[in-house]
Amino acid sequence: MKISTRKLASAAVAGAAYAALTLLLAPISFGLVQFRVSEALCILPAFAPCTAWGLWAGCAIANLAGGYGLPDIVFGSLATLGAALCMARIAKGRRQPLSLGRAMAVCLMPVAWNGPIVGAVIAYSTGAFWTALPLNMVQIAAEEALVMYAVGLPLLKLLPKSTAFEEAVEKLNMACDKRAGIHCGCLPFVLRPPCMGGLFYLCCPDAAELCRSCR
């Protein structure tokens, strides 16, 4: 197993940014009525999937400081991770501006994951789980949708137009094994492909297509 320092650093930066932004805007980041602007950072895995793990850690740290206790730390952060990995899968590591439909599907993932999961966490904290659950799920999903489509979607469309951003993402995602011809931006570590006697990338949908030796 080969660890990419650049990917680990990128994941750490993404996590730190998420936690810092969440805590900086704490009054609107926690509670039943929450507009967690930091969730807009969940678009990052669409460009560099390794940042999903940093966002997961950043969310756990933020929830540790001001969330709904252990359930929020565990399940809230897992919702962020699940959404981030799905966003990476939908975007397929593309660094050109995504089509509007694909970009909207990417931004839908945090809504789909956080609505039911975070809604359930908040409902559990009320002591009247089944009574509060439907309203909490709808409310969290609506708040998440507002952040993702008002902030995340414009960023998702505009960032690829930045030359500096494009170059930074290109360098990050070029952690590859040149002998196999694979460019994988999926995890903060690289696994050797089957044609080189190792396991394959667990979350890289395009790796099999890129590695001609594995066909």
User: Are residues 204 and 139 part of one domain?
Assistant: no
The amino acid at residue 163 is: T
Q: Which range in 44-48, 131-135, 186-190 is most confidently predicted, on average pLDDT?
A: 131-135
**Model confidence at 2, in pLDDT bands (50, 70, 90)?**
low
Q: What is residue 44's predicted lDDT score, i.e. its pLDDT?
A: 94
Is residue 10 in some structural domain?
Answer: yes
Domain count for the chain, please give it.
Answer: 2
The residue among 170 and 140 whose pLDDT is bigger is: 140
Structural domain of 192: 177-214
Average pLDDT over residues 197-203: 38
With a CB cutoff of 8 Å and minimum separation 6, the contacts of 50 are 4, 7, 8, 10, 11, 172, 185, 186, 187, 188
User: 123 and 78 in contact (C-beta within 8 Å)?
Assistant: no
In a domain, 145, yes or no: yes
Confidence of residue 178 (pLDDT cuts 50, 70, 90): very low
Q: Identify the H or E element spanning 28.
A: helix 26-29
Residue 73 and residue 60 in contact, taking contact as beta carbons nearer than 8 Å: yes
Query: In this predicted model, what pLDDT tens digit does every residue of 137-160 receive, in sequence order?
Result: 999 999 999 999 999 999 999 988
Comparing CA positions, the residue from 57, 86, 99 lying closest to residue 74 is 57
Q: Tell me, yes or no, whether 137 lies in a domain.
A: yes
> What is the average pLDDT value for the chain, to the nearest integer?
80
Strand partners, 2: 190
Q: Once rounded to an integer, what is the mean pLDDT over residues 159-176?
A: 75
What pLDDT score does 161 carry?
A: 85
The answer to whether residues 38 and 61 belong to one domain is: yes
Residues 21 and 105 placed together within one structural domain of the fold: yes
- Kindly report the pTM of this predicted structure: 0.77
Residue 33, pLDDT score: 84
Does position 123 have pLDDT exceeding 80, yes or no? yes
Say yes or no to pLDDT of 93 above 60.
Answer: no
* Residue 136 shares a structural domain with residue 102: yes
pLDDT tens figures, 16-65: 999 999 999 999 999 878 899 999 999 999 998 889 999 999 999 999 98
Whole-number pLDDT of residue 141: 97
- Tell me, yes or no, whether 68 lies in a domain: yes
Helices marked H in the chain: 5-24, 26-29, 51-66, 70-71, 77-91, 100-126, 129-147, 153-158, 163-172, 207-210
Residue 123 forms part of a structural domain: yes
Residue 86 included in any domain? yes
**What's the pLDDT at 162?**
85
Whether 172 maps to a domain, the answer reads no
Choose between 139 and 201: higher pLDDT: 139
Split at pLDDT 50, 70, 90, the class of 174 is low
pLDDT confidence bin for 130, thresholds 50/70/90: very high
Confidence of residue 169 (pLDDT cuts 50, 70, 90): confident
* Exposure on the CB side of residue 79, measured as CA atoms within 13 A: 25
